[in-house]
């Protein structure tokens, strides 16, 4: 199936990128690149290794463009990052990773453009895309506001200031979207493991404060329930 072939392109390219960028870059290599920038021989080795691993992992021996494009793009993306100011390292890291992922997406589009265009056309014509976009929006800010209002009467009993600023909001966004897409893929076992893992983690870390523990656990269950119901509704609407 074409879907399988797409994953046989995406997974090897992602794996090669993760190994090269996060597994094969010790601190000494990173420091050498930061100090010498384009004069660092490690920058060239790193870029070449990125291309070679991507080419080998995909295993399509006639697709030499994977080797060349990955190596060259990796070089220029990393060189751009190395020339950013120290106070912009956090932002440049995310941009750097996004650019690498765009290169991978380009290969997927190159090798599977007919299938992707066909699927995109079907999404638009069948109004499925509208359901997805509406659900994604609903599961972020609107649902977050609803949950915040639900817990408003208990705000005086709970210390919500002892944590990262806005971290709870973004955790809620991520967990609801993750649950939503797992429901669309009928991965209910994964959802069960996620619920259990988070419940144990959060409840255990707050075990000294019963009110705080119940607050976190109840919020998690409400958040997950809304995401699951939304996913089931969209699945039913798009399967008709």
pTM over 0.85: no
User: Could you tell me which residues come within 8 angstroms of residue 198 by beta carbon, excluding any fewer than 6 positions away?
Assistant: 175, 220
Q: pLDDT tens-digit profile of 30-68?
A: 889 989 999 999 999 999 999 999 999 988 889 899 999
Q: In the predicted model, is pLDDT for residue 120 greater than 70?
A: no
Q: In the predicted model, is pLDDT for residue 3 greater than 60?
A: no
pLDDT for 199: 64
């Amino acid at each position: 199936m074409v879907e399988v072939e797409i994953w046989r392109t995406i997974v090897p390219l992602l794996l090669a990128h993760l190994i090269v960028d996060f597994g094969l870059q010790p601190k000494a290599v990173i420091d050498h690149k930061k100090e010498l920038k384009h004069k660092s021989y490690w920058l060239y080795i790193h870029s070449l290794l990125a291309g070679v691993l991507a080419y080998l992992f995909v295993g399509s021996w006639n697709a030499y463009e994977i080797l060349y494009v990955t190596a060259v793009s990796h070089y220029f993306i990393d060189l751009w990052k190395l020339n950013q100011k120290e106070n912009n390292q956090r932002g440049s890291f995310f941009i750097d990773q996004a650019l690498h992922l765009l290169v991978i997406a380009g290969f997927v589009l190159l090798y599977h453009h007919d299938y992707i265009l066909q699927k995109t056309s079907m999404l638009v014509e069948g109004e499925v895309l509208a359901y997805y976009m509406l659900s994604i929006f609903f599961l972020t800010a609107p649902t977050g506001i609803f949950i915040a209002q639900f817990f408003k009467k208990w705000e005086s009993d709970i210390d919500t200031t002892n944590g990262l600023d806005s971290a709870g909001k973004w955790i809620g966004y991520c967990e609801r979207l993750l649950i939503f897409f797992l429901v669309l893929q009928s991965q209910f076992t994964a959802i069960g493991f996620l619920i259990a893992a988070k419940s144990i983690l959060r409840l255990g870390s707050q075990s000294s404060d019963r009110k705080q523990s119940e607050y976190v656990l109840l919020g998690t269950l409400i958040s997950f329930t809304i995401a699951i119901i939304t996913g089931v509704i969209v699945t039913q609407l798009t399967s008709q």
